[in-house]
Amino acid sequence: MLTIGKLGASAGVKVPTIRYYEQIGLLPEAERSAGNQRLYSQKALERLAFIRHARDLGFTLEAIRDLLSLSDQPDQPCAAADAIVIAQLAEVESRLARLGALKVELQRILTQCAGGKIANCRVIEALGDHSLCATDHRYPGLGATI
């Protein structure tokens, strides 16, 4: 049995994060010691490592929740798990495309700066006016993850 600290160290997850995962039901409630401290089995470590790894791959906790519940049903077909991974791949590809456009645009903006004063700074001007942009990098709904 592992304490929460050992568990976190083993899985590469911070202690408060583990408690948070338990709170939102991603991890089952841990057993407790006589002194009310959480105790974890090897199985719990595997589950946490799964979560950590999937987070590393950019999956949301919601997607991970689905993947975990699938992995608890070994006789189900793979298709559902595949679909989640495929969706994640599509998400990653769309972000890659968008970030690529951003990179180009930022580089372009930077090359225009002659290094003078703000008053005639092309950087500030380019930031203010999308029509000066070479690519259409616009995007409704900013703020996605990773």
Partner DNA sequence: CTAATGTCTCTAGTAACTAGAGCTTCAAGG
Partner DNA sequence: CCTTGAAGCTCTAGTTACTAGAGACATTAG
Q: Which of DNA, a second copy, none is residue 37 near (CB under 5 to 8 Å by kind)?
A: DNA
Residue 98 touches a second copy, criterion: CB under 8 A: yes
Quote the crossing angle between the two packed helices 4-11 and 15-23, to the nearest 10°: 100
Q: Which of DNA, a second copy, none is residue 20 near (CB under 5 to 8 Å by kind)?
A: DNA
Contacts with DNA in 48-87 (CB under 7 A)? 55, 60-62
Burial 70-81 (b: 16+ CB within 10 A, else e): beeeeeeeeeee
**Out of 33, 42, 69, 120, which residue is the one contacting DNA (CB under 7 A)?**
33
Helix (H) or strand (E) holding 71: helix 61-71
What the block records as the tokens of 65 is: 């929740």
Q: Which of a second copy, DNA, none is residue 61 near (CB under 5 to 8 Å by kind)?
A: DNA
